[in-house]
Amino acid sequence: MTPARPTVVVAGANGFVGRALTPRLAQRFRVIGLSRSERADLGVPSRRCDLLSHDDAARALEGADLAVYLVHAMMPSDRLVQGDFDDIDLVAADNFARAAARAGVRQIVYLGGLAPTDATPSRHIRSRLEVERALGAYGVPVTVLRAGLVLGPGGSSSRIVFNLARRLPVMVCPRWTATPTQPIGLDDVVALLDAVLDRADAVGRVFDVGGPDVVTYREIMELAGEALVGRPPRTFTVPVLTPELSRLWVTLVTGAPKALVAPLIGSLSHPMVARDRRLQERVGVPGRALRDVLAEAIAADAEAGTPRAFEGGGGGSRRGRPPRVRSVQRFVRPPGMRAADVAADYFRWVERALGPVVHARPRDDGGADLAVLGVTTPMLTLVPEGEPRPDRAAFAITGGLLGTGKGTFEIREVLGGEALTAVISDYEPRLPWWLYASTQAPAHAAVMWLFGRHLSRLAATSEAPPTRAADPAPAAATA
């Protein structure tokens, strides 16, 4: 009897790398692709999964033996997102890691980014390194491939380079265009991801990968110009173009959204060169020459359509769904306090800091009602959700004058307890959207900022209140 093939769950299966990887993995494994929406065009069975939802991630990894994580700088489809890209990426990776541990996954393979050794990493690179840590925080071994610029048809980075070379016959280049980098072709990345998956000597290891050519970004654009229009652009280097002006310049010329361009530009001042390519030598994937990679990517790029990252977020009612809200804030964790303790402290802090205008009234079921002075009906009702855990306190937003009965609020530990995040997911406000966006949303952001300051003071003075991690107290939330 033929043994069953291992099941691989691929997060980011509908992305640039994921669409190229899943057919190859399907030759050896049973592959399930994860996407934020139902898809019938992935070529493999798919599951709808919003990785910013703890419960979605848990369902998506049921039955998985192995997992591949290809998610970067997420741009959620919710209509309103409060939170920085690195905090959003951190929560998504934390959800995936928790779900993988619960499902008994024996290996996670992650495509991350090359890290500079001679400078402080940019925020974008720090985020990718942080995701590495988050994926391994619950005991599942992680194999990391760190790559720089991945070039191939339909890739967002490729399209930015091609559009610059195509649309600018004369190019004023900032200093970052002289930074060395080591681009790699999409097909080579796919082959390397396949090579380390379910391979015992790759488990728990980190590998730098890159093509055989070390070039500058300026040289890449010159080579792209030759392939696209038969001549390289004329380039002039200037020392005065700031990162902010570079972001504006790249966004205007290429059509890439600012949310995509901004974190990338911050990383381009660091050399992105592989320190050790022994993995490629061992598995026989040395990488193809840059000229060949560019020629192939350019030839097929038009048929690849618009990169999904160029489409931006902002689903909401424009996609036929009710407008939803996502909010992620990161806090320091005071010494001796677990997430459940912080949730209980938040409940007390609302009464102390916001009263008598706002009250957080405890409920018999262990939840809380958030009420405003003079209004007897709660603004929001929160009910405990799931099993109480010291490292995560979650509450369903079941109703109230401001809620529709949909949404979750939680406070959880991340990075092995190093930090905390407060997350509101899938919340649908009852107020008209214009009124919500101008009142309730900024009020929530302000409250979370004030609570973060409160936790920072506790951490600085080590004046943490008594903990009750074994019996988590309820938390109240503004959404």
Q: So where are the chain's domains? A: 7-311, 322-461
Query: Could you count the other beta carbons within 10 Å of the beta carbon of residue 413?
Result: 22
Token look-up 């959404």 returns 479
Q: Give whole-number Cα distances, 181 to 214, 305, 402, in Å.
A: 6, 26, 50
* pLDDT > 90: percent of the chain: 48
- What would the mean pLDDT of 111-124 be, rounded to a whole number? 82
Amino acid at site 263: P
Residue 467 has pLDDT above 70, yes or no: no
DSSP 429: B
Alpha-helical (H) ranges within 308-432 are 308-311, 339-349
Quick check: helix, strand or coil at residue 304?
helix
pLDDT value of residue 473? 35
The backbone torsions φ and ψ at residue 80, rounded to the nearest 5 degrees and listed phi first, read -130, 130
| pLDDT band per the 50, 70, 90 thresholds, residue 79 | low
pLDDT value of residue 471? 37
Q: Which residues pair with 185 in a beta bridge?
A: 151
Q: Which residue, 53, 78, 75, 74, is CA-closest to 441? A: 78
Residue 130 has pLDDT above 80, yes or no: yes
Contact 164, 171 (CB under 8 A): yes
Residue 405 has pLDDT above 90, yes or no: no
* pLDDT > 70: percent of the chain: 86
- What would the mean pLDDT of 250-256 be, rounded to a whole number? 76
- Any residues with CB less than 8 A from the CB of 467 and at least 6 apart, and which? 336, 337, 338, 341
Contact 214, 148 (CB under 8 A): no
421 vs 459: CA distance, rounded Å: 15
- What would the mean pLDDT of 397-405 be, rounded to a whole number? 88
Q: Which residues pair with 403 in a beta bridge?
A: 429
Q: Which uninterrupted H or E stretch holds 425?
A: strand 419-427
Contact 75, 259 (CB under 8 A): yes
CATH 3.10.20.810 fits 322-461, yes or no: no
Tokens of 398: 């079941």
pLDDT value of residue 309? 66
Contact 192, 145 (CB under 8 A): yes
- What would the mean pLDDT of 306-326 be, rounded to a whole number? 60
The third-level CATH classification (topology) of the domain covering 7-311 is Rossmann fold (3.40.50)
The backbone torsions φ and ψ at residue 389, rounded to the nearest 5 degrees and listed phi first, read -135, 145
Residue 161 has pLDDT above 60, yes or no: yes
Query: Could you count the other beta carbons within 10 Å of the beta carbon of residue 231?
Result: 11
pLDDT value of residue 314? 41
Dump pLDDT digits (tens) for 426-465: 899 999 988 998 999 999 999 999 999 999 999 998 765 6
- What would the mean pLDDT of 409-416 be, rounded to a whole number? 95
Residue 2 has pLDDT above 60, yes or no: no
Contact 110, 17 (CB under 8 A): no
Which of residues 82 and 101 earns the better pLDDT score? 101
Residue 4 has pLDDT above 60, yes or no: yes
The backbone torsions φ and ψ at residue 424, rounded to the nearest 5 degrees and listed phi first, read -110, 125
78 vs 74: CA distance, rounded Å: 11
